[in-house]
Amino acid sequence: MRNTVQIQCPTELLVSLQINSETFAEMLKLQTAIALFKQGRISSGMASRWLETSRVSFLMQAMEAGAELLENSQDDFEREMALL
């Protein structure tokens, strides 16, 4: 099941960014997925499924935005090993 979330956006914002509403929605979706991943609220797998992209592609974008793959904790190591 998919849910739709609507937000209001002033036309001036889209004009100043020189993008249409669809491109703006995709930009917000990516930035939200990255933020939730960085906060530890969603996994990279969930983010990549939501964005309909590969996990590797999402992780590359997230790292470019400053996300860390591992915090070097035992929990992180065990979680990543379980995915292999």
Q: What domain range is 34 assigned to? A: 11-83
- In the chain, what is the straight-line distance between the N-terminal and C-terminal CA atoms, in Å? 28
Residue 3 lies in a domain: no
70 has a pLDDT exceeding 70? no
- Global pTM reads 0.78
pLDDT for the residue 12: 96
CB atoms within 10 A of CB 65: 13
Tens of pLDDT, residues 1-46: 889 999 999 999 999 999 999 999 999 999 999 999 999 999 999 9
- When comparing pLDDT for 79 and 59, which is higher? 59
Residue 47 lies in a domain: yes
Cβ(67)–Cβ(76) under 8 Å? no
**How many structural domains are present in the chain?**
1
Residue 37 lies in a domain: yes
Residue 1 lies in a domain: no
Residue 70 lies in a domain: yes
Residue 6 lies in a domain: no
72 has a pLDDT exceeding 90? no
Residue 61 lies in a domain: yes
